[in-house]
Structure 1
Amino acid sequence: MKNSKMFVGIFLLMTLFAACSKDDNTTTPVVEQSVTGEVSGTWAKGSIIQVKTDIIIPAGKSLTIEEGVTVVMDTTTKPEIIVNGNLYVLGSTASPVKLTVPEGARITKNKFGKLWGGILASKTCSELVISNAILEYGGAVTTESSTSVKQGLYKAVSGEFDPAIWFSNTAGKLVMQNSTVRFWQDDCTYLEGGSIIFTNNTFHTTGESGGEGINIKSGCVADVAYNLIYSTNTNALKLSNSGDRTPQAYVVAYNNTIVNTGWRRPTIKGGSIWLEASVRAELYNNLMANTRFGIKRDVKKPEDSRSKASNSLYYSYSQEGATQFQPSAEILTGTNDIISNKAGDNDPKFVNYPVSTSQSNADFSTSWDFHLATGSPALNKGITTFTRNFKDGITINGQTYKSPEPASYIGAFGVK
């Protein structure tokens, strides 16, 4: 009897241990579900969500997408995600959220996406967070049957390519951090209002025949920092006060690394950073390597006179590129810039990126490393004394997101 009781006790203990191990090792079966129409609540960690048609987060409701969720868009219906309420995409470094298409559609011929719409947040959306997420293969063209067209959102007409993110509430709050937009048809973002932080993101292989990386209009107050923007079709940053919304567009963009942008634009508009229409912009510590132009302005509709630019580094392996960096009526002169009129000068000494890579190249290798090697002219050449818009942060859904401190180096990445 004693041995029997001992056996039962050991069995129960082993059963309890096995149950705990199952929970601790996350062996819970993956949940897969299909969605259409109105959605809200939580998509639980590790789920697979099949989006069959346009989905809508209703005004007054929220959707939270937890880490490790894969959202698979139907490439026949090419859904849009309409956010009339709030959306919180909360991945982690180890387990990002992925908004993508079926694996068989992730192929070279679809390099510029156009297989689903984008995240379109209306004026009733007050909070949007994209953290540790990957958005890929989107930018579908709108039609008369698109929910965005029917609801009068974005440009509210058929024939427009959806951006990855559209945000329009001037009183709203938007944070995108530690995320990637890639394989996108046109604009990565189109922002028409809000208090905004974009930091530590990567944008690459976007814009087949047009399109910007971060496209900001009137109504926005934004900090844009520590982003890597590679081979957008047109500009990495398009900063404008167009649209006659309040407040005036005011952007502090600092410590960004911008590579190969503008060369695939069929006209000469594309470059690195574009300023227009009385935008108030402060630009510091930005590294521009093999971009088509330096910081360029619309001479007919220039930036606000309070705008500032300083401590930029320019590098081009081609003489054409170096020539197009030179200050002129169109190319903004910054203070303490590192600039030369000679090809090959100011090599930033990236840890692992061939700076002679074709300027029109749009293919991106995850093996590249844009940190700075010892001896880089970008080291210890940054400025840290400026004020960013959201030093004290933006509070969304109970969490405060702060614009990071500026660095003493130029670009998004220092020494490893």
Structure 2
Amino acid sequence: MKAKQLFIYLAIFMAIFAGCEKANVDVDPDTGNGSAIGEVSGIWKRGSVQHITGDIIILEGQSLTIEEGVTVIMDAVAKPEIIVKGNLYAEGTQAFPIKFTVEEALRTKENEFGRLWGGILAAPSCAELLLNYTIIEYAGATTSDASTSVKQKLYKQKAGENLPALWFSNVNGKLVVTNSIFRNLQEDCTYIEGGKIIFANNLFYTTGVTGGEAINLKSGCLADVAYNLVYSTNTNALKLSNSGDRSPQTFVVVYNNTLINTGWRRPSAKGGSIWVEATVRVSVFNNMFANTRFGIKRDTKAPEDARSLFGNNLYYGYNQTTVNQFQPTTDIVGGINDVIGKTAGDNDPKFLNYPTSTDVNNASFNTAWNFHLQAGSPAIGKGKTDFTRHHAAGLVLNGITYTSPAPANYIGAYGSAN
């Protein structure tokens, strides 16, 4: 009788254990290296390697902190999703960034546009999400009926959707993405549906097979977007919209960004550089448009808020077709004190090391390129600094304050090389 009872108790214990999978049950306590599936929280130790073999979930009220130098290897067969219902803090450093990636053998030209794992999907209950000095690559898998995000009605809640690398959806939450790299992704790098937001000093490249933006903002956002370099996104660098009926009205301050070759790989009305629509309110200053397809473009059937401001942006086109598409019309927005010419080659930004004749359909990025400005660049001294940004006083995440950087008196994300 006792043996039978012991067997029953053991069976119950094993059933409970299997039904409540915990991540990092298989962790080396000295190195912090481990494998993860199911629920996860706590700390992934500095320099450790974490193998994600299935979907992981940070539960509401819990947090996961990822320390500098951690490499997160996503299983390309399982194509895991990272579901954030609590908080996620990925705090890397310049010397030791955090990397969300796949096994090295899969980082090939064949997999240039990712699709090998899902993405970081933050539910409306996620209060704080930080990515600082973090690399996200090879994400953007397509959902199926078996996807956790579909079952839990997250993101677009259906099968057949190409996931963004990052989705955030709490209008009362805080999102800070700084000093990070998004690359080798199938579609949108980020898709944001609300929150107090800072995107600053980031790099976006080799993204978008048939669509997708670097930063895609919907209603409910109060965002500062500054000092980002966006190279050859399939559609726009930034899609700024108030669609979705969330409060507050989206208001985005966009300044000192460098946008290059964006929009050419999607030859449709929406392929361009910055797209504004649906009563979004924007302030757009000090941005460099180099060989982008179109300048700032509006949806004429659902335009931006009339209080929106535009100015001190620089436009450069290597050929006449590009220059012609910069010229202000009913759907191309002109600004005050813009640096804009009418002839191919006008306003050459004089990048330190980037051939401006590079094919606009090129999606491959050379990390040796340098987009700082040489002496005599028409972008130097033409920036506007007397405008208000949302988060100059900062957003506090995990007890640390992150501030929007001050605007510069030059145009673009990078100043003089000196």
Indicate the TM-score class for this superposition, using the shorter chain for normalisation: over 0.9
**2:412 is paired with a residue of what secondary structure?**
coil
- Establish whether residue 368 from structure 1 lines up as the match of residue 361 from structure 2: no
CA distance in 2, matches of 1:156, 1:277: 23
**Corresponding residue for residue 265 of structure 1:** 266
CA distance in 2, matches of 1:152, 1:117: 15
CA distance in 1, matches of 2:90, 2:233: 24
**Corresponding residue for residue 286 of structure 2:** 285
The answer to whether the 8 Å contact 1:294/1:324 transfers is yes
**Corresponding residue for residue 223 of structure 2:** 222
CA distance in 1, matches of 2:92, 2:306: 40
How far off its partner does 1:31 sit? 3.9
CA distance in 1, matches of 2:84, 2:213: 22
**Corresponding residue for residue 305 of structure 2:** 304
What amino acid sits opposite 2:275 in the alignment?
A: W
**Corresponding residue for residue 187 of structure 1:** 188
What amino acid sits opposite 1:167 in the alignment?
A: F
Alignment of 1:7-406 (within 5 A): 30-406=31-407
CA distance in 1, matches of 2:82, 2:47: 20
**1:190 is paired with a residue of what secondary structure?**
strand
Aligned pairs, number: 389
Partner deviation per Cα, 1:5-58 (whole Å, 9 max, x = no partner): xxxxxxxxxxxxxxxxxxxxxxx9744211001000000001100000110000
How far off its partner does 1:397 sit? 1.0
**2:37 is paired with a residue of what secondary structure?**
strand
Partner deviation per Cα, 1:304-356 (whole Å, 9 max, x = no partner): 00000000000010111100000000000100001112111110000000000
How far off its partner does 1:59 sit? 0.5
Runs of 5+ consecutive residues of structure 1 not aligned to the other structure? 1-27
What amino acid sits opposite 1:384 in the alignment?
A: T
What amino acid sits opposite 2:245 in the alignment?
A: D
CA distance in 2, matches of 1:268, 1:216: 18
The answer to whether the 8 Å contact 1:204/1:364 transfers is yes
The answer to whether the 8 Å contact 1:209/1:266 transfers is no
How far off its partner does 1:269 sit? 1.6
**Corresponding residue for residue 15 of structure 1:** none
Partner deviation per Cα, 1:59-102 (whole Å, 9 max, x = no partner): 01000000000000000010010000000001000000000000
**2:73 is paired with a residue of what secondary structure?**
strand
Runs of 5+ consecutive residues of structure 2 not aligned to the other structure? 1-28
How big is the alpha-carbon RMSD for the aligned residues of Structure 1 and Structure 2?
Answer: 0.9
The answer to whether the 8 Å contact 2:31/2:45 transfers is no
CA distance in 2, matches of 1:129, 1:32: 22
CA distance in 2, matches of 1:114, 1:249: 30
How far off its partner does 1:248 sit? 0.2
What amino acid sits opposite 1:93 in the alignment?
A: Q
CA distance in 2, matches of 1:398, 1:73: 29
With structure 1 as the length reference, what TM-score do the two structures score?
Answer: 0.93
The answer to whether the 8 Å contact 2:373/2:415 transfers is yes
CA distance in 2, matches of 1:191, 1:154: 10
How far off its partner does 1:410 sit? 0.1
CA distance in 1, matches of 2:49, 2:280: 42
The answer to whether the 8 Å contact 2:32/2:44 transfers is no
Partner deviation per Cα, 1:97-145 (whole Å, 9 max, x = no partner): 0000000000001100000011000011000000000000110001111
**2:232 is paired with a residue of what secondary structure?**
strand
**2:409 is paired with a residue of what secondary structure?**
coil
What amino acid sits opposite 1:312 in the alignment?
A: N
**1:196 is paired with a residue of what secondary structure?**
strand
**Corresponding residue for residue 19 of structure 2:** none
CA distance in 1, matches of 2:32, 2:390: 41
The answer to whether the 8 Å contact 2:114/2:140 transfers is yes
**Corresponding residue for residue 21 of structure 2:** none
The answer to whether the 8 Å contact 2:257/2:286 transfers is yes
The answer to whether the 8 Å contact 2:316/2:345 transfers is yes
CA distance in 1, matches of 2:92, 2:259: 25
Identity of aligned residues (%): 61
**2:38 is paired with a residue of what secondary structure?**
strand
What amino acid sits opposite 1:157 in the alignment?
A: K
CA distance in 2, matches of 1:281, 1:31: 44
CA distance in 2, matches of 1:160, 1:316: 35
